[in-house]
Amino acid sequence: MSPLRPSRREFLQIALAAPGLLRLQGQPSATADPWQNTAAILARIREPVFPNRDVDATRYKSINEAIDACSAAGGGRVVVPSGSFTTGPIRLKSRVNLHLSEGAVVKFSTNPKDYLPLVYTRFEGTELMNYSPFIYAYDQEDIGLTGPGTLDGQADAAHWWDWTRNAAASRRKLTDPATARMPVAERLFGEGAYLRPNFIQPYRCRNVFIEGVTIRNSPMWEIHPVLSTNVIVRGVNIVSHGPNNDGCNPESCRDVLIERSLFDTGDDCIALKSGRNDDGRRVNVPVENVIIRDCTMKDGHGGVTIGSEISGGARNIFAERCRMDSPNLNIALRIKTNSVRGGVVERIFMRDVTIGQVSQAVVTVDFQYEEGDTGKFPPTVRDVEVRNVTSQKSRNALSLRGYAYAPVTSVRLTGCRFDNVAQPDILDNVKDLRLENVTVNGTVRNETISR
């Protein structure tokens, strides 16, 4: 059983001891204003506390040796001073905060062999044994990555990014239903498979704190916590425009805060995920209780995205007070899945977001993403609310595309204003779309639509 899911007996014990706690862990109370539920989520999200001990990384042969020494002493802060340092993969350990000082630049080797042996990881929503992420932790508690310094993955057209041309066969093998029936320890990829490692990946960790760092030139997804609880990403600065360069992708995580960060990326700025296809249903852990606030989204496919690897579902997602503006940013709020991926996506809330321009629709729900309706697991998207969101320029205000037998349901827009909208809404198989005081190109709309 996943450590993130209490047993039935544990659920009953929680309900008897504190009825409100059970509801807030995954099912917020039915208040008039769903945003009232964020207080309970934020009360559980706290910064880890590290021992008051500093270890100078330059006194050891490698950053990993410094982390090991700090961990053996009981924990503390490993400090990387100003200067340029080249390293292979870094392994974070419990009660250790890796701190990059002002002027510190940690560059990662471009030799794939340095990221061996294989580790237990995820690639695009599927568990496997693959190259180590650049910064990795497995089953650790109270881990930190902080400071004003820079992490440079040194990825470019000749290193890592060019692997996209050779990875198709491995990606097909990885997502084959037969692979989902194999033990993860037998899913050996790595050399010759061309599946790029992620940049930062805490896997099955508790109390993860990432603050202040600058990230450049990632092989693919930049910050990718998996099956982790109590995750804080604060004040990071991400500029990386390679293929699949998503900024922050919490996957099957619970209680996550992402705030005051800059995303200027080659793919989705923030993408919430929960596993892909049969393997995602095998693990079956949603991404839930996520708060995104006060962030800036520039280039990217979606500002706040849910999917497409969303087979375990998503719920209780709150995004507020963000700024999005770029002709190269496609969509502000993006939900993408299909009947191969499936998943239940519900209780998604966005408010007070200011958009200069996006190149496509402001809000998109797409059941036709990639494979389309070719599977046996129709997705569910319901209870989505967009409140006080303004946009100065877009192709469409809305693009909502469900299935006739599984429509997109219960989407609400309240107090929004969308100017310079070039084309009408795209609405296919939508039930109970409610517009309340929504202004599009100067026309106020108050209506309920099902079509």
The pLDDT of residue 32: 79
From residue 316, how far is each of 38, 74, 167, 233 by CA, in Å? Answer: 9, 36, 34, 18
Tokens standing for residue 118 = 């294989």
The pLDDT of residue 27: 52
Specify the CATH number for the domain of residue 420.
Answer: 2.160.20.10
62 within domain boundaries: no
Q: How many domains does the chain have?
A: 1
User: Which residues, including other chains, have CB under 8 Å from residue 11's CB and lie 6 or more apart?
Assistant: 22
95 within domain boundaries: yes
- Measured distance CA(248)–CA(304) in Å, rounded: 10
Angle (CA) 223 237 315, round 5°: 45
Tokens standing for residue 322 = 């963000």
Closest CA to 60 of 87, 96, 97: 87
From start to end of 172-320, where are the E strands? 200-203, 206-211, 214-216, 229-234, 237-240, 254-259, 262-265, 270-272, 287-293, 296-297, 300-306, 314-320
CB atoms within 10 A of CB 420: 11
Which residues are known to be catalytic?
267, 301
Tokens standing for residue 120 = 């237990």
State the residue range of the domain holding 283.
Answer: 86-110+135-158+197-449
- Residue 276 contacts residue 175 (beta carbons within 8 Å): yes
DSSP for 35-74, please give it: GGGHHHHHHH-------S-EEEGGGSSSHHHHHHHHHHTT
Question: Over the chain (451 residues), what is each successive 10-residue block's mean pLDDT?
Answer: 38 34 44 90 97 98 98 98 98 98 98 98 98 98 98 98 98 95 97 98 98 98 98 98 97 98 97 98 98 97 98 98 96 98 98 98 97 97 98 98 98 98 98 98 98 94
Tokens standing for residue 401 = 């595309």
94 within domain boundaries: yes
- Measured distance CA(272)–CA(252) in Å, rounded: 8
The pLDDT of residue 142: 98
233 within domain boundaries: yes
Angle between helical axes of 19-26 and 8-17 (0-180°, round to 10): 130
- Measured distance CA(310)–CA(316) in Å, rounded: 14
- Measured distance CA(277)–CA(131) in Å, rounded: 22
- Measured distance CA(243)–CA(218) in Å, rounded: 9
DSSP 8-class letter at 423: S
- Spell out a b/e string for 252-287, using b for 16 or more CB atoms within 10 Å of the CB, else e: bbbbbbbbebbbbbbbbbbbbbbbbbbbbbebebbb
> How remote is the C-alpha of 179 from its chain's centroid?
24
263-311 confidence digits (pLDDT tens): 999 999 999 999 999 999 999 999 999 999 999 999 999 999 999 999 9
- Measured distance CA(34)–CA(48) in Å, rounded: 28
